[in-house]
């Protein structure tokens, strides 16, 4: 990334249930808060990127404009599974890097309520009586998983068990430790959907959803919004010293999709595209995993977080079990992971998550995270993955000013 771009302002609404508001209300509130945090107004924006998955065909961005100010700027409405918000942010970043705008607004918003279990793709076929290969993917039956599931808990449960079968030192307890950690972290985050601490025994003893993920190892659905103001390097230099001091550099912005893998034809491969994105992000930012002071990664299930320790190069191959056992990803550990409480406790309104992760890391790099502050944080990573698949990684750095 030749000329840097900067996060100038961020905001996040507490994730939860908002029965008296809609996506326009939620997105507008987050947008106005982010611009207030940045010290700018809608008239300073040259582009908007708005991520909303379940109303992706409803022109959410333009509807938000009608509530916060219609200035005629281009609006991109983005949908990219769980990477929707991060993709909207990347759209704004790329627009600014292209020189088409010097400041822009990215919004991620979703109103899900109690949507229930979600699948990663449409059924491969509808004729359940036949067992001959047919359809777009040559499927024999209308399922996307080897074990016969098209629901997220089963997909990520299987991915976790494949890792556990391949490497020693990983079992039910290591997966449960991920959730216990994140629930404990959420106690310090007033914006988390849930802020309740559970013991390891309570996590392991909760109702089983899809082994090894119990109920307390699965993220909840809900409502929420987050927003970020992005500014070019040249424009930032014209702003006040206080704005420059609080700006956070976007050292890398990466988006990947699935490369072809044989296993990926029947079971979504959540690993390869994440590893590819991480390697590219480290190359662009000129840093390595050892330089990260905190990471907000996509822990839709406890099994997912443990897998991504290795995928993001936070541990050596086969070392994810030892990594969680050692306490390395705890807030006071070597590489704090999901100090916000992660998706497991913070919540996961799909379109909002990617920018909410950027909000969290930005807040720590500014030294404004309060009781959950990771002391001395200078470099952080955000990561989201949406089955289908899309993976987005951003590496952020504290301003040197």
SS3 label, residue 57 = coil
DSSP code at position 219: P
Burial class of 325 by CB neighbour count within 10 A (0 to 12, 13 to 18, 19+) = middle
Separation between Cα atoms, residue 149 and residue 8, nearest integer Å:
43
Task: Determine the longest span between alpha carbons in the chain, in angstroms.
Answer: 68
* DSSP element (H, E) containing 276: helix 272-285
| Angle between helix 302-311 and helix 152-166 axes, rounded to 10 deg | 50
Handedness of CA 318, 319, 320, 322 (dihedral sign): positive
Q: Which residues share a beta bridge with 213?
A: 210
**Cα dihedral 284, 46, 359, 155 sign:** negative
First to last CA, the chain: 20
Q: From the centroid of its chain, how far is CA 309?
A: 15
State the Cα–Cα distance between residues 183 and 66, nearest whole angstrom.
Answer: 38
Catalytic residue among 82, 218, 300, 315: 82
Radius of gyration of the chain measured on its C-alpha atoms: 20
> Does residue 213 sit in helix, strand or coil?
strand
CA–CA separation, 150 and 143 (whole Å): 6
Burial of 128: CB neighbours in 10 Å, binned 0-12, 13-18, 19+: exposed
Among candidates 119, 98, 91, 83, which has minimal Cα distance to 277?
Answer: 83
* Cα 46 to Cα 76, 91, 102, 333, 356, distances in angstroms: 12, 12, 7, 41, 22
- Sort residue 12 into left (φ over 0), alpha (ψ -120 to 50) or beta: beta
The contacts of residue 394 (CB under 8 Å, 6+ apart) are: 86, 89, 90, 250, 252, 253, 254, 281, 358, 361, 381, 382
**Residue 298 catalytic?**
no
**Active-site residue (options: 348, 364, 383, 394):** 348
The yes-or-no answer on residue 185 being catalytic is no
| Active site residues per annotation | 82, 348
């Amino acid at each position: 990334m030749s000329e840097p771009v900067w996060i100038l302002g961020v905001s996040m609404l507490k994730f939860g249930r908002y029965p008296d508001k809609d996506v326009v209300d939620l997105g507008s509130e987050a947008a106005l808060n982010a611009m207030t945090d940045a010290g700018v107004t809608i008239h300073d924006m040259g582009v908007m990127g708005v991520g909303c998955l379940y109303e992706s065909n409803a022109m959410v961005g333009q509807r938000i404009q009608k509530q916060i100010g219609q200035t005629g700027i281009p609006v991109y409405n983005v949908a990219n599974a769980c990477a929707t918000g991060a993709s909207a942010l990347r759209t704004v970043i790329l627009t600014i890097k292209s020189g088409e705008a010097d400041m822009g607004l990215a919004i991620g918003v979703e109103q899900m309520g109690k949507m229930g279990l979600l699948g990663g793709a449409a059924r491969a076929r509808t004729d359940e009586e036949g067992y001959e290969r047919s359809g777009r993917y040559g499927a024999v039956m209308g399922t996307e998983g080897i074990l016969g599931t098209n629901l997220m808990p089963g997909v990520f449960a299987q991915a976790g068990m494949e890792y556990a079968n391949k490497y020693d030192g990983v079992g039910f307890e290591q997966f449960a430790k991920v959730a216990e950690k994140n629930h404990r972290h959420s106690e310090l985050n007033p914006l988390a959907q849930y802020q309740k601490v559970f013991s390891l025994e309570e996590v392991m003893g909760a109702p089983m959803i899809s082994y090894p993920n119990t109920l307390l190892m699965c993220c909840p659905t809900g409502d929420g919004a987050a927003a970020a103001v992005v500014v070019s390097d040249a424009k930032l230099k014209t702003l006040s010293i206080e704005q420059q001091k609080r700006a956070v550099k976007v050292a890398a912005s990466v988006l990947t999709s699935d490369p072809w893998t044989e296993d990926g034809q029947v079971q979504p491969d959540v690993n390869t595209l994440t590893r590819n994105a991480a390697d590219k992000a480290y190359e662009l930012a000129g840093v390595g995993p050892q330089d990260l002071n905190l990471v907000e990664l996509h822990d839709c299930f406890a099994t997912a977080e443990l897998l991504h320790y290795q995928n993001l190069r936070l541990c050596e191959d086969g070392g994810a079990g030892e990594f969680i056992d050692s306490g390395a990803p705890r807030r006071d550990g070597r590489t704090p992971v999901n100090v916000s409480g992660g998706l497991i406790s913070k919540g996961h309104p799909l379109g909002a998550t990617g920018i909410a992760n950027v909000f969290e890391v930005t807040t720590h790099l500014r030294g404004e995270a309060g009781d959950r502050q990771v002391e001395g944080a200078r470099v952080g990573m955000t990561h989201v993955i949406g089955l289908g698949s899309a993976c987005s990684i951003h590496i952020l750095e504290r301003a040197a000013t």
